[in-house]
Structure 1
Amino acid sequence: MTLATSLVLVLVAGLGSQLLAARLRIPAIVILIAVGLILGPIAGLVDVDLEPEQLSELIGLGVAVILFEGGMSLRFSEFRRVGKGIGRLTVLGPPVAMALTAIAARYVGGIDWPVALVLGAILVVTGPTVIAPLLRQAGLRRDSAALLKWEGIVNDPIGVTLAFLTFQLFALSEGGLGSIATGLLYAIVVGGGMGAGVGLLLGVSFRRGWVPSHLKSPLLLVAVLLVAGLGNRLQDETGLLAVTAMGLVLGNMRLAEREQLLHFKEGLTVVLVSSLFIVIPATLTADDLRALDWRIVAFVAVLMLAVRPLTIWLVTLRSDIPTPDRRLLAWIAPRGIVAAATAGSFGPAMVAAGYPDGALLVPTVFLVIIVTVVVHGFTLAPLARRLGLTTGARNGLLIVGASPFGLALAEALRRRDVLVTVADGRYQSLQPMRMAGVRTYFGEVLSEHADEALAESGVSHVLAATDNDYYNALVARSLGIEYGFHRSFQLAPAEGTGERRALTFERRASFAFDGRTDLVTLDERIAAGWRIHATHLTKEYGLRELAQRFGGDEDAIPLGAIDASGAFRLVSPDQRFLPLPGSTFLYLGAARQPATGAVPRVDDASDGTATGA
């Protein structure tokens, strides 16, 4: 098989595994490793015909891009909230975790001390590429998620640097424990300083327009690779610390294109993670897998059940980290691509340096990855819920803009257990909402304060419903990045705008409801006595019969549907869906409908009473 064919096969297998994992709602790394083992040791379809040193350098470049993207996603505002906890996890955590893991590897796994210490350093890392999707699925509170995210991203380059310095101590017989501390300090100060300086320089050049827009993403990618290479020239594995610091500085500068740059890097990271988790397992042989005996399995169990809890207990002792967060941290520590890549680099090098147990590094680390990802992936959400660290189910509507129609819609949804928050920058406009008991947010909904305040409000859909069509588009497009563009809507523009004068679809969000009715019309209907009604759909009376009813009452405006499980969706001509039997369909109609035989039962959402159809 040619190199080009192998590359295409790896990319197709990697992205296909990601899609399958997303569909099945399971951690993608589990499928990626399984596919890599099938394509490599089992089927022999992927053969990485590169020298170990060359493969290690290529993998290192990919890891550099991944860590840069992780650093860029960190916000200083998170550090201000939980900075003391982050400091303990990232300063005290690595040496304690390394020592305890090495002891377990030696006395439980039966691995020689030099290899055990390198393994301890490698397993300091808790992969950000694994943590991030798990946090999204679990719906953790912001502070709890920040602790896990910062630990994963910051400790990754520290763990890799510790692994290199420990390897250097034993394989090259250079220095002692003092050299490890000195080398780590050098990597943090010099490598981190260089990365931060380059990040600052790039940020200033982007702000001042020195770089054309179409060249910013490519230039950023090249800069990441360059900084990683220069950092490794200063000291091996220092490049990872440098690119993490570079991403941290650049991500916290006020850049107009920050989200665009971050999304570009996120997409690239998905491709790299998918490819690396196919390539690295493919380098394993059947002999490598057979080397995993019961002692290695016992080591993995001790690592999860004793080493991690003891590490967290020691580093958080007498800290202000809440007890539920400590318990969660004591259990959750999945490993990811950085651990796999580092093991792939140092395993063969340890064997070449005269340490046979180095052959156990790669298969042991992969076993740790598989077990931790599977176990922690399926237990994170239940444990977080039990500890009270989740935001609850995301099944709510954020209405931006207080209005009579917004109040009517909020009350109708609240009666059916759908969470509703109304946001407005005019305090007096929110008074009717507050009097009705509707949750409100006063202020600019696109502010950082709103981002923090609404993080735990259970919002799943956004409806921009102010009297400014262009502001509606701005809000819905901006919040669509977080909640999904398929869940962000705006009201139709005012009459008379005209198609040619209106915003194009690429610059606005999907129109809500029938796609024609604007806020003025909706408020006028409410003032005229119209009410929001709810129709229960059955097998006998479904979507077709409902459409026939609307055909006879052209003024009725469809609003949304709540399925049998309680999940809510807004109606939109741009996001069509079919409400299933058992769903409750909401629409705005006249207060009293003429009696027809078409609708056997219509519940009035305003007061919960049944009215004749």
Structure 2
Amino acid sequence: MLEPICWILLLGFGGGQLARLLNIPALVGMVIVGMILGPQATQVIDPAVLALGADFQKIAVMVILMKAGLGLDWEKLSQQGTVALRLGFFPAACEALVIAVAAMVLFQFDWATGLLLGCVIGAESPAVIVPGMLRLKSLGWGVSKGIPDAVLTGSALSDVLILLVFGLLINVVGEGAAQAWYWLPLQVLMQISLGLLCGWVLAQVLVWVLVRQSWTQTLTQDTLVTAGLALALILLADQLPLFSGYLAVMGTGFFLIELDAPLARRLRSGFDSLWTVAELFLFVFLGASIQLNVLGDTWGLGLGILAIGTLVGRMIGWLLSTWGSNWNWKERLFLLPANSAKATVQAAIGGLPLAMGIPGGDKILAVAALSILVTAPLGAWAIPTFAPQLLSRGEVDPTKTAMTRQLTILAAVDTDAQAPTILKKAAELARRSDAEVIVLHVIQTPETKPLETLHTQCQSLLADIRHRIMTVEGTVPAEILRISQEFQASEIIIGRHGQTGWPSKLIGSVSQAILESSSTPVLIVSETA
């Protein structure tokens, strides 16, 4: 176990970073690494380890769905009326039906087997859609109409529906249990309602344990307890299939925002860190599970089926989902890249028909593998690429999304006795938020010796802080404000420089000018601070 895990961590991360350098979605590099390490290439990940891939994928999907729930906005969802609910039904259902008809023509499948293929392909990938939508929310694209929230909710609901229908179809095709169809509406309603109820209960438990009883002391402990209970909820759903475990996890995150927003904000940061590791295992194992040898002569017809399912089936579904809404034609067109990616569900269920000996199972597996190879990287690339062209940019709600950009603190210093105090305060704040410090000195007269002293002070006081020293010429307040805007500083730290008369005891002229003009928070320190 240890050797494959070592290779997954190192090569998976390296493949993702290399893909980013080439302006390709990181998951593409991770999937390629998985294909190389998998049983069909180097066999570093042997079948025994690959058999555990489903468990790793389950953990990773739990993490990403918790992130999705912690990023949902009830106010935006309520503004959309039934759009999110319709997105949870029409696109996947229409795609499954169109693919079933196409498979009957191209593969000579019967109706039940064609619909089985439609369910495998109709499911949407939370591993691609959730990070993409949360990224759009953090940047403000489509947030004014709640488009990312609607897509997130619709994707979760559609997977519940598709997996239920797939389970029934497996019984119908494999065992002839046609009477199970009569219970489908009741099962869907029960899975969704009980899933949301379990999510609400778990959210209440987490607030009681982590906030009211204070059983934990750190963010890491909060995250581990939450992840452990969420994973237990998914395992319980597997043993007692009366509710959707994945919907329950997403609901937990959503209800936490309403019950205790500060706890939700902390957990959002913790699950962001968990996802950094979880995505490596998810996509590397995903690549290793793709069986390229089953594609054979199926890839041509498979691409045709995927195109028909997306461009015909899903287009009809998107039109029905947004009918009567306030979405314009560009926002509706955005659903093409935003709501089409396939990955995790196809990897999990694509091989089941073949394993059960269902006729046509090899073709179902081949099309499932093809859908992952084509739509997952395409979706990961298309979401950030087309969002600026098709969506309007609104104001970001920091209470509903994680702000992941690197924080920068601007410490404006003179070569006087206040410089060490400013640097100490900058270092203190930077250590709390893992921020970078820009030490800015505005030169007004040639000064060699004091600048050497400033460099020495920075090396001593900022030794464990990522920092840079900048010297510019010009007017002091203007240059401080310019550098602050150029580097998007999150805070400006300055000293209290004096001016003649009694105001010098309160604030200096430079400090006052910056306070009056800066849109960035300003912290003023004195020599005795």
Q: By the TM > 0.5 criterion, same fold?
A: yes
Cα deviation, 1:501-553, whole Å, max 9, x if unaligned, reads: 78443236656672799xxxxxxxxxxxxxxxxxxxxxxxxxx9x96867xx9
Q: Which residue of 1 aligns with 2:6?
A: 8
The match for 1:191 among 187, 190, 195 is: 195
Shift of 1:241: 2.6
Q: SS where residue 123 of structure 1 aligns?
A: helix
Q: How far apart are the structure 2 equivalents of 1:114 and 1:192?
A: 31
Structure 1 residue runs of 5 or longer lacking an equivalent are 392-452, 457-474, 518-543, 575-587, 590-613
Cα deviation, 1:319-344, whole Å, max 9, x if unaligned, reads: 44333222222454332443234335
Distance 1:293 1:130, change over 3 A: closer
1:48–1:279 CA contact under 8 A, matched in 2: no
Distance 1:149 1:515, change over 3 A: farther
Q: Which residue of 2 aligns with 1:372?
A: 375
Shift of 1:92: 4.0
Q: How far apart are the structure 2 equivalents of 1:487 and 1:124?
A: 44
Alignment of 1:61-460 (within 5 A): 61-108=59-106, 110-135=108-133, 136=135, 140-142=141-143, 143=145, 144-174=147-177, 175-214=179-218, 215-235=221-241, 238-290=244-296, 292-330=298-336, 332-344=338-350, 347=351, 349-380=352-383, 383-387=386-390, 389-391=391-393, 454-455=395-396
Shift of 1:10: 1.5
Distance 1:234 1:4, change over 3 A: same
Distance 1:60 1:104, change over 3 A: farther
Shift of 1:571: 7.9
Over the matched positions of the two proteins, sequence identity in percent amounts to 20
Q: How far apart are the structure 1 equivalents of 2:382 and 2:472?
A: 47
1:127–1:338 CA contact under 8 A, matched in 2: yes
TM-score where L is the length of structure 1:
0.64
1:206–1:216 CA contact under 8 A, matched in 2: yes
Distance 1:20 1:192, change over 3 A: same
Shift of 1:296: 0.9
Q: How far apart are the structure 2 equivalents of 1:260 and 1:572?
A: 19
The match for 2:405 among 473, 484, 487 is: 484
Cα deviation, 1:272-326, whole Å, max 9, x if unaligned, reads: 2321221233234453232533211211221232222122123333344333222
Q: CA RMSD, aligned part only? A: 4.1
Shift of 1:112: 4.9
2:409–2:491 CA contact under 8 A, matched in 1: no
The one-letter amino acid of 2:262's match is: A
Q: SS where residue 82 of structure 2 aligns?
A: helix
1:66–1:269 CA contact under 8 A, matched in 2: yes
The one-letter amino acid of 2:154's match is: E
Q: Which residue of 2 aligns with 1:49?
A: 48
Q: How far apart are the structure 1 equivalents of 2:368 and 2:472?
A: 61
2:223–2:267 CA contact under 8 A, matched in 1: yes
Q: How far apart are the structure 2 equivalents of 1:282 and 1:168?
A: 28
1:79–1:86 CA contact under 8 A, matched in 2: yes
Q: How far apart are the structure 1 equivalents of 2:158 and 2:122?
A: 7
1:72–1:250 CA contact under 8 A, matched in 2: yes
Q: How far apart are the structure 2 equivalents of 1:488 and 1:160?
A: 49
Q: SS where residue 487 of structure 2 aligns?
A: strand
1:115–1:350 CA contact under 8 A, matched in 2: no
Q: How far apart are the structure 2 equivalents of 1:560 and 1:364?
A: 55
The one-letter amino acid of 1:141's match is: G
Cα deviation, 1:151-186, whole Å, max 9, x if unaligned, reads: 334433443333223323333433332233332222
Distance 1:343 1:17, change over 3 A: farther
Q: Which residue of 2 aligns with 1:506?
A: 431
Q: SS where residue 485 of structure 1 aligns?
A: coil
Q: SS where residue 514 of structure 1 aligns?
A: strand
Shift of 1:492: 7.8
Q: Give the count of matched residue pairs.
A: 456
Q: How far apart are the structure 1 equivalents of 2:489 and 2:55?
A: 51
More helix by share: 2
The one-letter amino acid of 1:12's match is: L
1:171–1:353 CA contact under 8 A, matched in 2: yes
Structure 2 residue runs of 5 or longer lacking an equivalent are 444-468, 493-508, 511-529
The one-letter amino acid of 1:156's match is: D
The one-letter amino acid of 2:142's match is: R
